[in-house]
């Protein structure tokens, strides 16, 4: 564990992970290219940048025509991130290697394996949480957006002009999604198809009803503004009921969180307080079997608790 080769490898892994995170996350997407700012100069890339771009290209080539089950193609759009799946997979790989080396240097093979898998799993959890929060905010903005649409149509504007105005007045993510609908319509795509695609991407049942109501009004006619008002009232009633259910189930959700997090927290505390005692879990076969049994029971318990505290109506 004190070998210079392991230390050198760990340092390289850490620096590579930091570079990848800064290059793909912290770098602004609005930076003017060097060839536009100073046309007489050539954009020179470092060797590490070329290696990174080559790795991203190889991953993109391998992912071409494939659909990942854990990492869907629209997951980054749901989260509002403008990165490719190859970039995210490269960051996960860098964190896997770097944290694995750090864990091995700090606590041996067992800690290295746990930290190695903790990096990619944590990034996937962060991506799902970000997408879920964006979808929840989209659902909260929907009633106000429908009110603006109905008001614009009562003032004499067309549906597309009303959507365009609502896109300018709404904040993200509603404004971004409506702007995308308008842009797709300008290049020839049907408005209802874009609305249905937005509802599927944001996983919004309420917005799906709006798109279906607009499609029905196209076929049978009628006052679309009044129809949107009625749909909005239904959505507000469902949102009120959902808040009541959330308040009544708050105690159960908190209990579920404590029951799931307590064993993991105690294991981490034992690792710091009594490393020799915790080493039995990571350095022996019975210890690994016990950890596997704990992980299996925690997974089953988490699934069961989530099914109990998440009522459907």
Q: How would residue 98 be classed by pLDDT, with cut points 50, 70 and 90? A: confident
Tens digit of pLDDT for each residue in 119-155? 888 899 899 999 999 999 999 999 999 999 999 999 9
- Got the DSSP string for 157-186? --HHHHHHHHHHHSPTTHHHHHHHHHHHHH
Contacts for 245 with CB less than 8 Å, ≥ 6 apart = 311, 313
The SS3 assignment for 191 reads helix
* Average pLDDT taken over every residue of the chain: 79
Q: Which residue has the higher pLDDT, 262 or 106?
A: 262
- Yes or no: say if 225 and 240 are a contact pair by the CB < 8 Å rule: no
Tokens of 259: 């029951």
All domains of the chain in start order, with CATH: 4-26+44-133 (no CATH), 135-240 (1.20.81.30), 250-309 (no CATH)
Tens digit of pLDDT for each residue in 242-256? 888 888 878 878 888
Tens digit of pLDDT for each residue in 171-225? 989 999 999 999 999 999 999 999 999 999 998 989 999 999 999 988 888 888 9
Contacts for 179 with CB less than 8 Å, ≥ 6 apart = 167
| pLDDT given for residue 270 in this prediction | 84
Burial code of 276-287, b = ≥16 C-beta within 10 A, e = fewer? eebbebbeeeee
């Amino acid at each position: 564990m004190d070998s210079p080769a392991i230390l050198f490898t760990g340092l390289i892994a850490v620096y590579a992970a930091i570079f990848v995170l800064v290059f793909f996350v912290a770098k602004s997407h609005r930076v003017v290219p060097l060839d536009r700012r100073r046309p007489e100069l050539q954009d020179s890339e470092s060797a590490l940048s070329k290696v990174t771009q080559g790795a991203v290209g190889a991953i993109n080539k391998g992912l071409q025509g494939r659909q990942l089950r854990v990492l869907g193609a629209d997951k980054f759009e749901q989260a509002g991130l403008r990165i490719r799946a190859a970039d995210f997979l490269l960051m996960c790989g860098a964190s896997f290697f770097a944290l694995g080396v750090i864990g091995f240097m700090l606590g041996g093979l067992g800690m290295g394996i746990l930290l190695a898998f903790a990096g990619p799993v944590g990034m996937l959890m962060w991506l799902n949480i970000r997408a879920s929060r964006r979808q929840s905010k989209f659902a909260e903005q929907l009633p106000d957006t429908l009110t603006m649409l109905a008001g614009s149509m009562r003032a004499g504007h067309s549906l597309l002009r009303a959507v365009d105005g609502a896109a300018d007045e709404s904040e993200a993510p509603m404004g971004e999604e409506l702007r995308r609908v308008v842009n797709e319509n300008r290049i020839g795509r049907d408005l209802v198809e874009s609305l249905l695609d937005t509802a599927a991407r944001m996983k919004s049942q309420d917005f799906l009803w709006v798109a279906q109501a607009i499609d029905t009004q196209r076929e049978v006619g009628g006052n679309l503004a009044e129809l949107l008002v009625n749909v909005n009232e239904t959505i507000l009633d469902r949102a009120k009921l959902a808040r009541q259910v959330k308040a009544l189930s708050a105690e159960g959700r908190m209990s579920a969180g404590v029951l799931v997090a307590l064993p993991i927290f105690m294991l981490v505390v034992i690792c710091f307080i009594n490393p020799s005692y915790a080493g039995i879990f990571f350095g022996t076969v019975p210890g690994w079997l016990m950890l596997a049994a704990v992980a299996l029971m925690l997974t089953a318990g988490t699934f069961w608790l989530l099914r109990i505290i998440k009522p459907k109506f």
